[in-house]
Amino acid sequence: MAQHSPLPDWAIEAEGLVKTYAAGKTSPAKQALRGVDLRIRRGSIFGLLGPNGAGKSTFINILAGLVRKTSGTVRIWGVDVDEHPRQARAAIGVVPQELAADVFFTPRESLEVQAGFYGVPKSERRTEAILGALGLSDKADSYVRALSGGMKRRLMVAKAMVHAPPVLILDEPTAGVDVELRRQLWDYVQGLHAQGVTIVLTTHYLEEAQALCDHIAIVNRGKVVASEPTPQLLSRLDTRAVVIAPQEPLAAAPIINGFDARLRSDGRLAVTYKTGQASVEQVLAAARTAGVGIRDLSTEEPDLEDVFLALTYADETQPSPLQD
């Protein structure tokens, strides 16, 4: 009886990962990644977030074999990318941010060519099933150049799945697509996750990451500034908000001694406070002292955007990495 290798605990492991782009004639050297240590657990939906230029795309391109790392080690599905590059890259499917479609092929032909590229035998190809799952069956024989941007985005996901990789990397998959396509795409991705596929997601839609990801890493200026389960990451901020619906409309946010008060577009007043330094009762007392009548109120926990801004702002205050 054939022996099956045990599944790895980690879908992706990076240790001391560095990438420095050499100086050009008109540009200085740039250290895009500076000692990244990151482990992505098998079976997770993992969010990789960071501002533009943080190093996310460089990290993904190293995994995909498109960029050579300067130093450090990377393992995909337990396989070192230097020792067994083909085996390691066969374990991932990458959906790039840019729409790069074979405009003179049909979707069916594109998937067949991609499957052949990965050496998938014809008897094991799942072209029709993948086309159906992504809502492309009725466009299977249309030229790709005639497809809408949303359809091309679906085709990119389909091509990444032809070799049934255990890890799927989605780089800004819903950028510029409509709400309905976004919902359909996430239904499909969550179905893959339910089958055991590890999902790695980069997105600028922070509410999307908060809703979908069980673990989130935040990258800034080439280093990981946080990597934690989503609930733990959200608990990092000790700020809360009391949201007051005033009895009388407010023309502007009043000055509430000791607290930050902001008037929202719906007329409600949001007053933030640090849980270790004040209580809801103290906030309400200060609001009444400032002349605010309270018709109704609610409290809000910090969201991912708050954490993201706090962590990246704190990192920006540190000395700049190598830029010469």
What distance in Å separates the CA atoms of residue 299 and residue 152, rounded to the nearest whole number? 42
Which of these, 108, 95, 105, 173, lies nearest to 138 by C-alpha position?
108
Domain boundaries, the chain: 10-91+165-234, 239-301
Calculate the CA 194 to chain-centre distance: 18
What distance in Å separates the CA atoms of residue 321 and residue 200, rounded to the nearest whole number? 26
Mean per-residue pLDDT for 230-246? 85
- pTM reported for the whole predicted model: 0.77
Answer whether 224's CB lies under 8 Å from 37's CB: yes
- The string of pLDDT tens digits covering residues 151-174 is 888 888 899 999 999 999 999 887
- The string of pLDDT tens digits covering residues 52-100 is 888 999 999 999 999 999 999 999 999 999 999 999 999 999 988 777 7
Cβ-based neighbours of 300, under 8 Å, separated by 6 or more: 240, 241, 243, 270
CATH superfamily, region 10-91+165-234:
P-loop containing nucleotide triphosphate hydrolases (3.40.50.300)
* C-beta neighbour count of 259 within 10 angstroms: 18
Number of H helices, E strands in the chain: 10, 14
How is domain 239-301 classified at the CATH fold level? Answer: Alpha-Beta Plaits (3.30.70)
Tell me the residue type at 119: G
> What percentage of residues in the chain have a pLDDT greater than 90?
54
Give the residue ranges of DSSP H helices in the chain.
56-63, 85-90, 107-117, 127-133, 149-160, 179-194, 206-212, 230-234, 280-289, 304-316
Tell me the residue type at 227: S
